[in-house]
């Protein structure tokens, strides 16, 4: 059995790589080689970071980190799968994982709420995000495929959400994680908000055409965009 302390350095290195490559992918021209390569590095490092973080939290806590690690892995994995228009066996397995983790998050949130602990809000938030994503998975599996803007939207919000969770864990987590040189409280929320702002920007780009007029009919399988 791998001891949590033994994989902590791996977790830290993967976390640094996923943040650097994630912000690079955000700003790189979409479809360009830099976007593709930085995106793949982001996905790989996120998988390592989220799973090692979940393993460490399983043994040492906190429970919120276990929930965050498993859901982050799910979000990034299913976002990567959108490069293919048709679902495969990973999609239903991921949906089951997200359902179980969401239920645990809601249960933990209710327990924390009753005890008056601040962990209630993030637990409820993780549970809600998981439920929304699972609803999109079910629609995708029912439709059998996803294309056009719906596929871009699914890829976009899940990747950005994974980066947001990773950024929040680093910049808004325990202060000892942030080097003293950049530990400026008023500025720390900015890198956390960047994935959210970029996500909203591209959602607007998807909704409106170049002339600013709304796009007409919804694209095929739009119901599977979640």
What three-state secondary structure class fits 74?
helix
What is the full DSSP assignment across 149-172? HHHHHHHHHHHHHHHHHHHHHHHS
Q: Which pLDDT score is estimated for 174?
A: 73
Distance CA 226, CA 220 (A): 14
For residue 62, name the pLDDT band (cuts at 50, 70, 90): confident
Q: What is the DSSP letter of 208?
A: B
Tell me the per-residue pLDDT of 156-168, one tens digit each, with 9 for 90 and over.
899 999 999 999 8
pTM for the full model?
0.82
Between 50 and 119, the more confident residue is: 50
Please tell me the predicted confidence (pLDDT) of residue 212: 41
- Cβ neighbours for 115, distance < 8 A, ≥ 6 positions apart: none
61-86 b/e (C-beta count within 10 Å ≥ 16 → b)? eebbbbbbbbbbbbbbbbbbbbeeee
- Which 3 state secondary structure label does DSSP give 220? coil
Band the pLDDT of 213: cuts 50, 70, 90. very low
The radius of gyration of the chain's CA atoms, rounded to the nearest angstrom, is 18
Question: For residue 210, what are the CA distances in angstroms to 26, 206, 215, 217, 222?
Answer: 21, 10, 10, 16, 20
Using DSSP, state whether 226 is helix, strand or coil.
Answer: coil
pLDDT classification of 69: cutoffs 50, 70, 90: very high
Q: Domain residues of the chain, as ranges?
A: 4-208
Helices (H) and strands (E) in the chain, counts: 7, 0
Element (H, E) at 215: none
């Amino acid at each position: 059995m791998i001891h949590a302390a033994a994989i902590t350095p791996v977790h830290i290195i993967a976390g640094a790589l996923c943040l650097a490559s994630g912000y690079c992918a955000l700003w790189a021209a979409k479809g360009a080689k830099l976007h593709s390569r930085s995106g793949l590095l982001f996905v790989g490092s996120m998988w390592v970071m989220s799973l090692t973080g979940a393993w460490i939290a399983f043994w040492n806590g906190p429970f919120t980190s276990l929930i965050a690690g498993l859901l982050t892995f799910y979000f990034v994995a299913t976002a990567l799968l959108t490069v293919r228009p048709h679902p495969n066996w990973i999609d239903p397995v991921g949906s089951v994982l997200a359902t179980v983790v969401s239920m645990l998050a809601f249960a933990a949130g209710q327990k924390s709420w009753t005890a008056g602990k601040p962990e209630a809000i993030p637990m409820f938030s993780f549970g809600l995000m998981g439920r929304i994503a699972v609803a999109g998975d079910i629609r995708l599996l029912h439709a059998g495929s996803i294309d056009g803007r719906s596929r871009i939207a699914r890829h976009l919000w899940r990747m950005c959400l994974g980066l947001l969770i990773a950024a929040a864990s680093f910049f808004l987590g325990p202060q000892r994680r942030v080097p003293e040189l950049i530990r400026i409280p008023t500025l720390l929320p900015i890198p956390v908000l960047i994935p959210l702002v970029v996500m909203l920007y591209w959602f607007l780009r998807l909704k409106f055409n170049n002339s600013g007029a709304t796009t007409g009919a919804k694209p095929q399988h739009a119901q599977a965009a979640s």
